[in-house]
Structure 1
């Protein structure tokens, strides 16, 4: 069995992001969003312009709401099992604005599984300042030399697979449904299924 370098997304893979985000939005701005309404393009989801969406994004990220997110069932046990054999990393598109809250959340819900030095932020949704830059998820995965990506976003999984790496598309969400997947992308509906797929990849 090969020892794999596995990169794992946070939102809706480890953390119940959409449930928490929708609840916050409905309470704070009086929206009537459901989980199925969620989109990573917040201006479209809220039906507001980009300036208002950015203002709300800052309010949300400053609120500390993500610290209260639940973790997805089965994740901790599966990750502990996998960490006995494989090198686990976190690869997220979350803004650096919530880096501190994110690291605290990871240590609370997955203590001892991820080193803080193995949590990587792509900066995809950050504002670019002098000396900073954004990475696509595929560029980040390449940079950290991951063999496998576990992510809920179909576009990231497909892009990673095109670079010759394996990807696990996690969950069955409205935003990641597809009629077919490429050869290197496998959908897993639960963390127990992820464990089985990781073992298959490691033995292939």
Structure 2
């Protein structure tokens, strides 16, 4: 019997980008951010500028610094998340679908091999940050690989997936996703326990 496929995002889904961003920001920019600051409602694009209370240009420079120092690779997968993924792998095929940019592809695959060995059957990248003529969405990749589910923290990605007939689980309670209208077929899950509950119908 063919296992259903779950497409899973990395940043703030598989592991916490917010946590390493807080540490980076407080150490380098004199901020006093906490996870509570990331509950404030705001638009997905420009959210970090809102948190930092800076303009678009300064925000872009800080985020570029964050990426160039490879801070996202400091993320860890919580032990309880890894345990749950190991359980899910018995009944589902797990695929990574991420919008990390091209210069992160190899490092991301190495990071996954280190932190989640033998968990994922494939890694797929969306050219969200790269200058590409092929505008690929996560919904398109889900269709290409036959995924029945997408777990992602982005309302836009989840809405597009749902509109393509893919069940989308909108992950987390972040300021950029708590106040948005959802398409039919998008369901909110605050953590991996709720993902498990949804998938197994408990």
TM-score by length of 2: 0.82
| Structure 1 range deviating more: 30-39 or 148-157 | 30-39
Write out aligned runs for 1:39-118 (5 A).
40-41=45-46, 42-46=48-52, 47-50=54-57, 52-72=58-78, 74-115=80-121, 118=122
Given that 2:10 and 2:96 are in contact with CA atoms closer than 8 Å, whether structure 1 keeps it comes out as yes
Distance 2:117 2:167 in 1: 26
Given that 2:8 and 2:152 are in contact with CA atoms closer than 8 Å, whether structure 1 keeps it comes out as yes
Q: CA RMSD in A?
A: 2.6
In structure 2, the residue matched to 1:175 is 176
In structure 2, the residue matched to 1:9 is 9
TM-score by length of 1: 0.81
Q: Report Cα offsets for 1:149-197 as digits up to 9, x if no partner.
A: 0011122212211111101111222221147644412222221221221
The count of aligned residue pairs is: 195
In structure 2, the residue matched to 1:125 is 129
Matched, 1:189 2:196: no
Structure 1 180/57 Cα, relative in aligned 2: closer, same or farther at 3 Å? closer
Structure 1 189/57 Cα, relative in aligned 2: closer, same or farther at 3 Å? closer
Report the CA distance between 1:122 and its aligned residue.
Answer: 0.2
What 5-or-longer segments of structure 2 have no aligned partner?
39-43
Distance 2:186 2:26 in 1: 34
| Structure 1 range deviating more: 161-170 or 177-186 | 177-186
Structure 1 27/153 Cα, relative in aligned 2: closer, same or farther at 3 Å? same
Distance 1:96 1:25 in 2: 24
Distance 1:109 1:36 in 2: 26
| Structure 1 range deviating more: 186-195 or 82-91 | 186-195
